[in-house]
Copies of this chain bind each other. A is one copy, B any other.
């Protein structure tokens, strides 16, 4: 008997509290798989943000902490310096990371902290009920942008990977999508790469995952994925924005 696929050891047995079809669950699973495959569940500390994934401390099988909104990269900085042999990751939404947590994200990246940030971009504040996020698309509606996001007044969707990639120090930055099985397999590779780099103490890794929020988008799971493919991917193109390992190899 061979197990072809099974809930990974990186996750606990707890039922996820996300809405049906919400891709937070997929992101969790691939992180859980990567931890299992790299055999680092026992040496990893995960950081849950404030956002729908606030309860992530119940879902990942590694040591976990829940921290103030937006401050996960600072907490991770403290942790990785206190436990340099651990792998430390944060799991953050777009509000958490790209709004209130902007400074912490930018500076953790700039210090090349040996941490992984898994950044779930669903273009909305899920937890609090559908307010505008920094990544909300132009003209997209949100409860705090009831007439659609007016770019002239509220700004253009922030592209975090592109911005951070201008910094000199971060080690690895990639944007992936969770919108198809193929994309998910690629996303998994990126997640695993990030954690592997951390295990090897290479430095700062960030994997942004283009995701969905069926509930606050007011779409059923399938429709939300189609919508995201059509509308999110053009604004948030997938790709590797920085990979020092590759660069170093190339320059050899």
Residues of A within 8 A of B (CB): 99-103, 106-107, 110-112, 134, 151-159, 162-163, 165-169
Apart from A112-B152, A159-B166, A166-B166, 10 more pairs, CB < 8 Å: A100-B103, A101-B103, A106-B158, A107-B155, A110-B134, A110-B155, A110-B158, A112-B155, A157-B168, A162-B166
Instruction: Count copies of this chain in the complex.
Output: 2
Q: List 22 A-B contacts (CB under 8 A).
A: A99-B103, A99-B107, A101-B103, A102-B102, A102-B106, A103-B103, A107-B134, A110-B134, A110-B156, A111-B153, A111-B154, A151-B169, A155-B169, A156-B167, A158-B167, A159-B167, A159-B168, A162-B166, A163-B163, A163-B166, A163-B167, A165-B166
How near does chain B come to A80, taking the closest CB pair, in angstroms?
Answer: 12
Q: What residues on B are CB-neighbors of A111 within 8 Å?
A: 153-155
Nearest residue (CB) in B for A154 is B111
Whole-angstrom CA separation of A166 from B158 in the bound complex: 9
Q: What residues on B are CB-neighbors of A165 within 8 Å?
A: 166
Q: What residues on B are CB-neighbors of A101 within 8 Å?
A: 103
Nearest residue (CB) in B for A164 is B163
Whole-angstrom CA separation of A156 from B152 in the bound complex: 33
The 6 closest A-B pairs by CB, nearest first: A102-B103, A156-B168, A111-B155, A110-B155, A103-B103, A156-B169
Q: What residues on B are CB-neighbors of A102 within 8 Å?
A: 102-103, 106-107
Q: What residues on B are CB-neighbors of A103 within 8 Å?
A: 99-103
Whole-angstrom CA separation of A168 from B152 in the bound complex: 11
Q: What residues on B are CB-neighbors of A158 within 8 Å?
A: 106, 110, 167
Q: What residues on B are CB-neighbors of A153 within 8 Å?
A: 111
How near does chain B come to A88, taking the closest CB pair, in angstroms?
Answer: 16
